[in-house]
Structure 1
Amino acid sequence: MDEYGETLGELWGALASVKHYPRPIPRNDGTPEAKRARRGVVHTGYVHSAGIQVSSSNPEDRNHSSPGGSEGSTGYTETKPTQELPAEDNALHLINRVLRHLLYYTQPLNASPVLDLRQKCRMVSQISELKKQFVAVDDGGLILRVEGGVSTGPHIAIALLEAKRRLVVDDNKPRISDECLAQMTCEAILARAIPAEEQLGNERTIVLNATSHYVCFLEFNVTKAYMRRLMAGQLPSESLKVTATHWFDLSAVEGRRGVLNNIRGLLGMAMDRQPQQDVISDSEGVED
């Protein structure tokens, strides 16, 4: 703590908030506790409340849903937030603390340019041929500040950040739901539609998917040909390729090391401002 200062303390505090679940309130109504031991029952698709969780964004969109709703998909679990912040905000608070700490200690003091955090952003793209407007709102992201501080020039987008509420678990393995993937795909496409001077010049969009104390890095390969056909109101003739790392557990040393390695990769990509072969890394390989 003395070596890394308050950013590390904030990180551990945010991690504790995400992982903490309240103990049941003991009964005090005079009812004796049951003496017979309960038999363990295994329920298919059940995930312990202290385990992995994930969902789609925008808690405002779900304010009218029932508290115990399961979203109609096997493998979803939902617990009530244990802090004042909604579950998704707790996850966003944690990943912001993690990124803030890593960016502070992986870059020289007063560096320019500098990789920095940004607030959430609303992206809008108009396809006139279809008379349609596409809108996406992320939860923040990483930008390259060319002058290190407040700059009059455009900042360069490096990665998007998307926080989720619950994680879909199938056969004890986490995965990203179709709904979440569709949302991040829309964000990745609209990120490629921003002015050219605000992009790195490659055909990639990196999205950090943060849920509870788990982080996954996704790389969307959105080519110029794909964007040309889409903006012309035509169906793209090629598939949109997505590559993802495994989930990194921020409560484990290996998980934190994996996040650090990927942030270093993004930092190197940002500073070089050139396309690279391997932007995201995973010690166990990648999943398509």
Structure 2
Amino acid sequence: MTDYVTAVTSTSALRTRQPQPLFYHQDKKLPRGSSWAADELTTFRVVVNATNTRVLPYLKESTAPCDDLFIDPAIAQLLQPTPDLGGKTDIDLVSEYGGPLGQFWAALGELVPDRGAYTEPGKKGDGHVPSSPLDQPAPKRNRIAVEHADMVDSTQMQVGSSSPAQESSQVSSRDDAFVAENHEHDPMAREVNTERLLTCFVRYILYSIPYLDWALNNRLDCRTHLATKVTMTGGWVIQAEDDGGLRLRRGMASDGDDGLHVYYIRSRSADCYHVMFEAKKAFQINDGQPTISDNWLGQMTAEALVGRLARSNFNSESHVLIIAAALHFVCFLDFDITDGYLEDIQQETPTLTLPVGYTSWLDLNDYKERRYAVENMARLIQLSE
């Protein structure tokens, strides 16, 4: 079957899939968001707005042009052609380009095939994106809770994205050491490096943007993963976990005449879902083109619903933004979840849809496409005002 993202681009296309209304999930149980796929997308009446654009339409319509930003020296540095990263360490790059930009180049070097850690011996990377099997969604990393009450035998621990130790793993004679084989080629390591690259890119923009001209009152900063459970008014429970995001810190004039601002979070629910991140180790390739798999779109839909519902008591803004990343590519998505939709979707015969818009995939290794990723970020920052 054709991917949902390319097949369901209109209400009529959704109707052909004969969606089962949420109303008939009488036990109120829904799968965890990480396993959502075509069935859940159909139930929640997701319709994808198929546009081939490098700037997210919602951002372009809602913000002012930002051409002046590109002449800012810090941003102009980021928009230069990718330097030669071969054989250079993080320290080399930070020493040469400074902290934030050097960290971005170092993170990029881990993922670019002909410069980073994943080129097979004797082969030069060609920049093609490895794909997940078409009939299998890219697996989500296992994330574990850490109990601090007692110490835990380290041989029984999973660290980051690592799998439990197998008999074939290289384990030293000491009980407190574990080294995974071929960790540089581990797909899960690619996902971790993708997260790192996305975070380094976003942080550089946040650090470099001329805030006095853009958003005097508020600030954005990066946050780590959030796992959240929300309950809809009808009793249906949605659980989702993202890969980090941007939280909004609201500015308030400080006491005194110094003109300074202090920044605070009004509520985790209200301000921590300003933007969400979702990273994967690779694309799904369909007809030679990178695409968003049903599982990935389903997972992001669950996250968008959680974010929208979590902030609904404080903020009626319908648009939820997610930045998706795979290797050194990024895509900006907009989920338009209105109050009317949230009420309608719980009825016996819902009629409204959940529109999703998205950009083309932007290659952070290509300075021309990097410019559009910067523009999306700059316009996104304008929305924080």
Same fold (TM over 0.5): yes
Q: Which of 213, 221, 235 matches 1:116? A: 221
Q: Aligned runs of 1:87-98 on 2, under 5 Å?
A: 87-98=190-201
Task: Tell me whether 1:204 sits opposite 2:286 in the alignment.
Answer: no
User: Paired residue for 2:208?
Assistant: 105
Structure 1 consecutive aligned stretches of length 4 or more whose deviation exceeds 6 Å = 1-4
Where does structure 2 lack aligned partners over 5 or more consecutive residues?
A: 1-93, 132-136, 144-160, 165-181, 252-260
SS at match of 2:142: helix
Q: Which residue of 2 aligns with 1:38?
A: none
Quote the Cα distance in structure 2 between the aligned partners of 1:136 and 1:190.
7
Contact 1:141 1:159 in 2 (8 A): yes
Per the alignment, in what secondary structure is the counterpart of residue 102 of structure 2? Answer: helix
Q: Alignment partner for residue 121 of structure 2, among 24, 31, 36?
A: 24
Aligned length: 232
SS at match of 2:274: strand
Alpha-carbon separation, structure 2, partners of 1:240 and 1:248: 24
Residue in structure 2 matched with residue 143 of structure 1 by the alignment? 247
Q: Given the alignment of the two structures, is residue 240 of structure 1 paired with residue 354 of structure 2, yes or no?
A: yes
Instruction: Give me the identity figure in percent.
Output: 27
**Matching residue within 33, 46, 52 for 2:129:** 52
Task: Work out whether residues 159 and 205 of structure 1, in 8 Å CA contact, stay in contact via their aligned partners in 2.
Answer: yes
Distance 1:3 1:247 in 2: 29
CA contact (8 A) 1:91 1:164 kept: yes
Indicate the SS of the match to 1:215: strand
8 Å CA contact 1:81, 1:87 repeated in 2:
no
Residue 139 of structure 1: SS of its match in structure 2? coil
Q: CA deviation at 1:87?
A: 1.4
Inter-partner Cα distance in structure 2 for 1:180 and 1:152: 29
* 1:249 match: 363
Q: What secondary structure does 2:264 align onto?
A: coil
Whether contact under 8 Å (2:320, 2:334) holds in the other structure is yes
Give the CA deviation at 1:50: 4.5
Q: Deviations over 1:3-34 (max 9, x none)?
A: 962100000000001122243279xxxxxxxx
Task: Give 3-state SS (helix, strand or coil) of 1:260's partner.
Answer: helix
Cα distance in 1 for partners of 2:96, 2:217 equals 24
CA apart distance, 1:142: 1.3
Residue 31 of structure 1 corresponds to which residue in structure 2?
none
Partner residue, 1:270:
384
State the distance in 1 between where 2:227 and 2:350 align: 24
TM-score, structure 2 normalization: 0.54
| Amino acid in the other structure paired with 1:151 | Y
CA distance in structure 2 between the aligned counterparts of 1:82 and 1:207, rounded to whole angstroms:
28
Note if contact 2:227-2:241 (Cα within 8 Å) is conserved in structure 1: yes
The equivalent of 2:18 in structure 1 is none
| Larger relative helix fraction | 2
Decide whether the 8 Å contact of 2:95 with 2:102 is kept in 1: no
| Range moving further from structure 2, 83-92 or 55-64 | 55-64
Correspondence 1:118-267 to 2 at 5 A = 118-127=223-232, 129-130=234-235, 132-147=236-251, 151=264, 153-154=266-267, 156=271, 157-196=273-312, 199=315, 201-230=316-345, 232=346, 234=348, 236-267=350-381
Following superposition, the deviation at residue 49 of structure 1 comes to: 7.9
Deviation, 1:235, is: 5.9
- State the TM-score, normalizing by the size of structure 1: 0.70
What CA deviation, in whole Å up to 9, does each residue of 1:87-125 have, x standing for no partner?
111100000000000110014389652121111111211
Output the CA distance in 2 between the equivalents of 1:2 and 1:197: 46
Is the contact between residue 216 and residue 244 of structure 1 (CA under 8 Å) also seen in structure 2? yes
Secondary structure of residue in 1 paired with 2:211: coil
The 3 A distance-change label for structure 1 pair 50 and 203 is same
Q: Between the two structures, name the one with larger relative contact order (CA 8 Å, sep ≥ 6).
A: 2
RMSD over aligned CA atoms reads 3.1
